[in-house]
């Protein structure tokens, strides 16, 4: 062995000399240490004498090579430009000067390679493979008309998907290319172009729904929807490794930018189709059926099953859901119900402000004390807002004040707030894993989740017991109940008095309402105080309107809210920028077509609210906080004005923070009024500023919240 090495070594040097001689190179040293030494020596040689000029023939070769490379690049650029020109013409986009430049630079003659030519001229025989610049620009109109949106006439529809209904199945490959190229346009140009690209997408969807038979030639296959990777477990691993659960909203926003307005995502056990354009969302909701269904939160359902609790409307489906929901609507959604519970919410909001005033007075700094003193206090308002939301929920749901604004709020209530937070954060990872398996192996995620729910249930149980006793004793003591004396007994009392829901179902539903009613309102209120604080002009405008309306209504809270649409606009604007739930999901009950892709009935389709709220295709100047954008009747959401309030496609589907239709948030009216009333009292009493106006970082834990709660400075008016 040693001799072999010796022989090898003895040959190495002469061999190197030989190869360097043949290649005209200096001997190369392989050892890195030697390489470093060589580098120093070379640098020194370089200082001593300039390198000899390359031989003339070598220089000429280099020039020739460079020219060839440039010509090749120009040809490639021109090919791409010609492709783009074709698709710009096909989708009625304006000319791109860059493309014209690339085409001119090759003398306006481009011969497309066979594969590219096949994409745009599927029927072309080899004879037609040549692609002439003139033909690429034929029919292209560069006037302003092109940029003007036109209503989708049937002629447009035909142009947008020219092959609709008449293409053979094997064209799928090309269709996918069409999609990719359209996404290129979507991504590469400014908002105007994107709008047009998205219009083309939408037109495709509209036309196909109406004209093409699903599953036949014109509509693209489900499998062809752009996706983020087919293997759900690999994706789940990526989610975990990159901590994507907490940034799901950002991940969605980024993926839409990369893949266009529709994509599929397979993570763990979950398979979804994600969409963001209002027109597409309206198509989804049109197919939700009589018993709309959301994605099941299996972890919640499993908890109910193993503890043998009844399920409330959040977890029920079908006719069972519908019958309970109709009964609950009467108590929390109908105008008559709002009228009953609004004074209770107002009482809590006004007490909250009184408590804040005392705190600013006591702990604040600034000019003078007492009335007229402009004292300020900078606080993290989040713990107070959680207490406010819990106090308000208990008052409306159980008809009970629990004294959370006192100097020593009960530990039990604080524990409830922690339990809800824990339950929400532990739900998210469980969405992608089978809970029963985790239960069997005793995984800590599951144990913590179940424990949090147990706590929520025991809190609700105690409140319900108390409410039940109160009602029973008022029944036995006096002839009339609280309700019949005209005193509002809360949702619990109402349901008990009517006796249409069993006690078990009342418990199940009230527990869900409690669990769903605290963080969902406390968190948007944090965002609202922050945005009003960092936008002083907006704040002044809203306050002005509130003051006028308050004066006009003589302090009546409901009339004040009605006369101050900017307050409602503020809530809508906050939920646009920071939607509590970042998606609304549905299982369409029939096959549908979105963006010209076939989506079979029963697929989970998610309307992605966070990316939609921040998309320039949907909202002009999306990052600007502007409650006024909701005040014109045009921008009202479907829950407010019904479908089709505006003639533009999907215009009524931009405000969906509370979901849609018969399955929309049942606590919506409580939440809207609770948040508006609190803001109303705060604006009437304080001026808001923020010590730091940088954008808030957000994190997703089943609800979207600030990573670090914002600090707010309250100055007494």
Q: Which is nearer to ligand HEM, 84 or 663 (CB)?
A: 663
Is 424 near ligand HEM (CB under 6 A)?
no
Q: Which stretch binds ligand HEM (CB under 6 A): 228-236, 464-472, 508-516, 532-540?
A: 508-516
b/e burial code for range 599-616 (CB count within 10 A of at least 16 → b): beeebbbbbbbbbbbbbe
- For residues 264 and 272, is the Cβ–Cβ distance under 8 A? yes
- For residues 224 and 596, is the Cβ–Cβ distance under 8 A? no
Q: Which is nearer to ligand HEM, 294 or 375 (CB)?
A: 294
Where is 81: in which H helix or E strand? Answer: helix 56-90
- What is the per-residue binding string for ligand HEM in 384-423, x denoting contact by CB under 6 A? ----------------------------------------
Q: Taking CB under 6 A as the criterion, which residues in 88-127 touch ligand HEM?
A: none
Quick one: DSSP state of residue 160?
H
Q: Which stretch binds ligand HEM (CB under 6 A): 300-308, 413-421, 660-668, 683-691?
A: 660-668
Is 294 near ligand HEM (CB under 6 A)?
yes
Q: Which is nearer to ligand HEM, 152 or 581 (CB)?
A: 581
Nearest-angstrom CA–CA distance, 623 and 631 = 18
Q: Which is nearer to ligand HEM, 201 or 660 (CB)?
A: 660
Burial degree of 633 (CB within 10 A; 0-12, 13-18, 19+): exposed
Q: Which tokens sit at 498?
A: 């009517």
Least distance (Å) between residue 214 CB and ligand HEM? 25
Is 657 near ligand HEM (CB under 6 A)?
yes
Q: Which stretch binds ligand HEM (CB under 6 A): 47-55, 56-64, 104-112, 651-659?
A: 651-659
Is 512 near ligand HEM (CB under 6 A)?
yes
Q: Taking CB under 6 A as the criterion, which residues in 306-345 touch ligand HEM?
A: 313-314, 325
Least distance (Å) between residue 668 CB and ligand HEM? 6
Least distance (Å) between residue 658 CB and ligand HEM? 5
> What are the helix (H) ranges across 499-535?
503-516, 519-534
Calculate the dihedral angle through the C-alpha atoms of 606, 611, 614, 617, rounding to the nearest 10 degrees: -80
Q: Taking the alpha carbons of 640, 643, 648, 651 in that order, is the dihedral positive or negative?
A: positive
- What is the per-residue binding string for ligand HEM in 556-595, x denoting contact by CB under 6 A? -------------------x----xx--x-----------
Is 671 near ligand HEM (CB under 6 A)?
yes
Is 490 near ligand HEM (CB under 6 A)?
no
Beta strand 604-608 with 270-275 is parallel
Q: How many CA atoms lie within 13 A of 457 on its CB side?
A: 17
Displacement of CA 220 from its chain's centroid (Å): 25
b/e burial code for range 337-372 (CB count within 10 A of at least 16 → b): bbebbbebbbbbbbbbbebbbeebeeebeeeeeeee
Find the binder of ligand HEM among 202, 207, 382, 520 (CB under 6 A): 520
Is 511 near ligand HEM (CB under 6 A)?
no
Q: Which is nearer to ligand HEM, 111 or 589 (CB)?
A: 589
Find the binder of ligand HEM among 201, 488, 658, 700 (CB under 6 A): 658
Where is 167: in which H helix or E strand? Answer: none
Least distance (Å) between residue 695 CB and ligand HEM? 21
Where is 630: in which H helix or E strand? Answer: none
- For residues 325 and 334, is the Cβ–Cβ distance under 8 A? no
Residues 6+ apart with CB under 8 A from 251: 244
Q: Which is nearer to ligand HEM, 185 or 506 (CB)?
A: 506
Annotated binding site for heme: 665
369: alpha, beta or left? (left if phi > 0; alpha if psi -120 to 50):
beta
Is 664 near ligand HEM (CB under 6 A)?
yes
Least distance (Å) between residue 291 CB and ligand HEM? 10
Residues 6+ apart with CB under 8 A from 633: 641, 645
The closest of 534, 523, 551, 540 to 674, measured between CA atoms, is 523
Query: How many residues line the site for ligand HEM (CB under 6 A)?
Result: 26
Least distance (Å) between residue 514 CB and ligand HEM? 7
Calculate the dihedral angle through the C-alpha atoms of 523, 529, 533, 538, rounding to the nearest 10 degrees: 110
Find the binder of ligand HEM among 93, 505, 605, 666 (CB under 6 A): 666
Q: Which is nearer to ligand HEM, 398 or 432 (CB)?
A: 398
Q: Which is nearer to ligand HEM, 182 or 528 (CB)?
A: 528
Is 517 near ligand HEM (CB under 6 A)?
yes
Tokens 């004005």 belong to residue: 641
Is 696 near ligand HEM (CB under 6 A)?
no
Quick one: DSSP state of residue 220?
B
Find the binder of ligand HEM among 665, 677, 678, 696 (CB under 6 A): 665
Q: Which stretch binds ligand HEM (CB under 6 A): 16-24, 71-79, 348-356, 652-660?
A: 652-660
Is 275 near ligand HEM (CB under 6 A)?
no
Is 506 near ligand HEM (CB under 6 A)?
no
Taking each continuous run of H as one helix and of E as one strand, the counts in the chain are: 29, 14
Q: Which tokens sit at 222?
A: 């489900």
Neighbours of 265 (CB within 10 A): 22
Q: Which stretch binds ligand HEM (CB under 6 A): 91-99, 214-222, 257-265, 515-523?
A: 515-523
Quick one: DSSP state of residue 296?
P
Neighbours of 644 (CB within 10 A): 14
Kindly report each contact of residues 101-104 with a partner whose C-beta sits within 8 Å and lies 24 or more positions away, as own/partner: 102/74, 102/77, 102/78, 103/78, 103/133, 103/136
Is 261 near ligand HEM (CB under 6 A)?
no
Is 278 near ligand HEM (CB under 6 A)?
no
Residues forming contacts to ligand HEM in the complex (CB under 6 A) are 294, 313-314, 325, 512-513, 516-517, 520-521, 524, 575, 580-581, 584, 657-660, 663-667, 670-671
């Amino acid at each position: 062995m040693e001799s072999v090495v010796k022989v090898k070594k003895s040959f190495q040097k002469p061999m190197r000399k030989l190869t360097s001689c043949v290649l005209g190179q200096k001997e190369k040293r392989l050892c890195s240490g030697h390489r470093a030494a060589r580098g120093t020596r070379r640098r020194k040689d370089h200082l001593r004498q300039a390198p000899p000029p390359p031989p003339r023939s070598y220089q000429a070769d280099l020039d020739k090579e460079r020219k060839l490379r440039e010509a090749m690049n120009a040809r490639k650029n021109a090919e791409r430009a010609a492709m783009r020109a074709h698709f710009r013409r096909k989708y009625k986009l304006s000319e791109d000067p860059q493309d014209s430049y690339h085409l001119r630079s090759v003398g306006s003659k481009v011969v497309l390679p066979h594969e590219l030519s096949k994409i745009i001229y599927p029927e072309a025989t080899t004879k037609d493979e040549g692609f002439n610049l003139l033909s690429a620009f034929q029919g292209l109109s560069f006037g302003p008309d092109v940029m003007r949106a036109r209503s989708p006439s049937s002629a447009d529809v035909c142009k947008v998907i020219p092959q609709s209904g008449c293409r053979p199945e094997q064209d799928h490959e090309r269709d996918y290319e069409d999609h990719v190229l359209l996404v290129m346009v979507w991504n590469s140009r400014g908002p105007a172009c994107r709008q047009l690209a998205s219009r083309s997408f939408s037109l495709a969807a509209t036309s196909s729904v109406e004209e093409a038979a699903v599953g036949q030639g014109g509509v693209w296959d489900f499998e062809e929807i752009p996706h983020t990777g087919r293997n759900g477990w690999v994706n789940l691993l990526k989610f975990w490794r990159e901590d994507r659960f907490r940034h799901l909203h950002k991940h969605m926003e980024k993926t839409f930018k990369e893949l266009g307005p529709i994509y599929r995502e397979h993570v763990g056990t979950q398979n979804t189709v994600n969409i963001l354009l209002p027109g597409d969302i309206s198509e989804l909701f049109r197919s939700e059926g009589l018993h709309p269904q959301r994605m099941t939160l299996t972890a919640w359902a499993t908890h109910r099953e193993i503890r043998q609790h009844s399920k409330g409307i959040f977890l029920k489906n079908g006719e069972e859901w519908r019958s309970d929901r109709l009964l609950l609507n009467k108590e929390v959604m109908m105008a008559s119900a709002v009228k009953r519970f609004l004074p209770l919410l107002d009482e809590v909001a006004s007490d909250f402000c009184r408590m804040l005033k005392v705190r600013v007075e006591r702990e604040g700094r600034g000019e003078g004390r007492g009335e007229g003193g402009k004292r300020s206090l900078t606080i993290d308002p989040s713990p107070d807002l959680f207490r406010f939301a819990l106090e308000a929920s208990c008052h409306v749901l159980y008809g009970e004040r629990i004294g959370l604004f006192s100097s020593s709020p009960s530990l039990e209530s604080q524990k409830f707030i922690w339990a809800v937070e824990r339950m929400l954060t532990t739900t998210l990872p469980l969405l992608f894993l089978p809970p029963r398996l985790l239960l069997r192996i005793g995984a800590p995620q599951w144990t913590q989740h179940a424990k949090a729910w147990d706590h929520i249930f025991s809190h609700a149980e105690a409140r319900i017991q108390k409410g039940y006793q109160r009602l029973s004793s008022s029944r036995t003591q006096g002839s009339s109940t609280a309700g019949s004396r005209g005193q509002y007994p809360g949702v619990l009392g109402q349901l008990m008095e009517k006796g249409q829901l069993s006690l078990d179902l009342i418990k199940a539903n009230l527990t869900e309402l409690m669990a769903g009613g605290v963080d969902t309102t406390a968190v948007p209120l944090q965002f609202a105080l922050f945005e009003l604080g960092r936008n002083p002009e907006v704040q002044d405008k809203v306050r002005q309107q509130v003051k006028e309306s308050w004066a006009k209504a003589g302090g009546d809270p409901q009339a004040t809210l009605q006369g101050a649409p900017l307050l409602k606009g503020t809530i809508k604007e906050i939920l646009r920028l920071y939607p509590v739930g970042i998606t609304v999901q549905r299982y369409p009950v029939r096959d549908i077509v979105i963006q010209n892709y076939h989506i079979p009935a029963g697929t989970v389709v998610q309307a992605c609210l966070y990316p939609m709220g921040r998309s320039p295709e949907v909202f002009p100047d999306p990052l600007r906080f502007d409650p006024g954008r909701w005040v014109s009747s045009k921008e009202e959401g479907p829950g407010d004005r019904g479908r089709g309030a505006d003639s533009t496609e999907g215009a009524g589907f931009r405000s969906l923070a509370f979901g849609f239709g018969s399955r929309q948030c049942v606590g919506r009216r409580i939440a809207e009024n609770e948040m508006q009333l609190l803001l109303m009292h705060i604006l009437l009493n304080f001026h808001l500023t923020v010590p730091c106006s940088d954008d808030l970082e957000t994190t997703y834990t089943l609800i979207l919240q600030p990573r670090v709660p914002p600090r707010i400075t309250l100055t007494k008016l």
